[in-house]
Amino acid sequence: MKFSIFQLSRKGGREKNEDRMGYCYTRGSGIFLLADGMGGHPEGEVAAQLALQSISAMFQKEAKPELPDIAAFLETAVIAAHRQILRYGIEKGMQDTPRTTIVVAVVQAGSVTWIHCGDSRLYLVRQGELLARTRDHSFIEQRQGTAAALKLPDTMNRNILFTCLGSPTKPVFEVIGPVALQQGDKLMLCSDGLWGSLSDADIAYHLSHKPVSEAVPDLVEKALHKAGDSSDNVTVIAIEWETPDGSESTRGSISTGTLSEGVFASTVQSDWPSYKKLNDDQNLA
């Protein structure tokens, strides 16, 4: 596999950053993760960190060097992350458990498969067009097709979710893929701090006309500027796919073929106390 990647997280106007992001890869498989700890519930940053740690640990255990069944892995991993958060709440004697959204993409054998729960999104852009985007698990997004018939008010809060990880009920999630990747495809995972300020067309345009190392910081800065002092945490991780026969390599591209069997690389913090150190702005390319 060969791809370039850039990730960036900014605190915005919030007191702390409850978003988490990261990626892991082996010789034959890569996983990209983003979680947005939910405000209104305690320790959202812990829920987000636990979700990333739990899913990435399972990936590192099962990708040898590829996952035998990607869809089954994603479903099992998300449920395991959900249970890990519930377990944390029980151990701490919490009346209300931490909660988080999650979006995860696995790239393997030249294709991408993804899963999401909540309103953290995945965008797939190809040749200037928005090929795919996740559909938020919010009441307004799910009813959007019948909004006119239902006469939903324009002021209805699009951030009200009906599912997440860490809630008392079993999370609702969707698995999409595999979708074959082509040279130059852009894949982006982001929190609602980004898409809440920018249109899908704006996001697709920036991803289409710039390398991810330029598109991501430009999109983040634009979202922060538009939201102003009330900006939510803004977190993005994006990759540009390169086929084996691609004529050009993008700057800073990663080639997983250099890894030995049984070896993986990861940016996900694995030590438990680390979540306390991650509230400041994160910037990792």
Distance set, CA 14 to CA 11, 70, 130, 187, 230 (Å): 6, 36, 30, 27, 7
Determine the pLDDT at residue 244.
Answer: 74
Determine the pLDDT at residue 72.
Answer: 98
Q: Which of 36, 169, 190 is nearest to 101 (CA)?
A: 36
Determine the pLDDT at residue 39.
Answer: 82
**Is 24 among the domain residues?**
yes
Compute the Cα dihedral for 79, 84, 85, 89 and give only its sign.
Answer: positive
Contacts of 77 (CB under 8 A, 6+ apart): 54, 55, 58, 59, 104
More confident residue, 146 or 28: 28
**Is 62 among the domain residues?**
yes
Determine the pLDDT at residue 245.
Answer: 66
Q: pLDDT tens digit string along 183-203?
A: 999 999 999 999 999 999 999
CA 7 from centre of chain: 10
Q: How many domains are contained in the chain?
A: 1
Does residue 7 carry a pLDDT above 60?
A: yes
**Is 20 among the domain residues?**
yes
Average pLDDT of the residues in 136-150: 65
Domain that holds residue 117: 2-244
CATH code of the domain in which 44 resides: 3.60.40.10
Does residue 270 carry a pLDDT above 70?
A: no
**Is 260 among the domain residues?**
no
Q: pLDDT tens digit string along 233-263?
A: 999 999 999 987 655 555 568 999 889 988 9
Does residue 283 carry a pLDDT above 80?
A: no
**Is 54 among the domain residues?**
yes
Determine the pLDDT at residue 253.
Answer: 85
Average pLDDT of the residues in 46-70: 97
Distance set, CA 215 to CA 7, 24, 160, 180, 283 (Å): 10, 22, 29, 23, 14
**Is 281 among the domain residues?**
no
**Is 278 among the domain residues?**
no
pTM of structure: 0.89
**Is 267 among the domain residues?**
no
Q: Which of 19, 7, 102, 43 is nearest to 278 (CA)?
A: 19
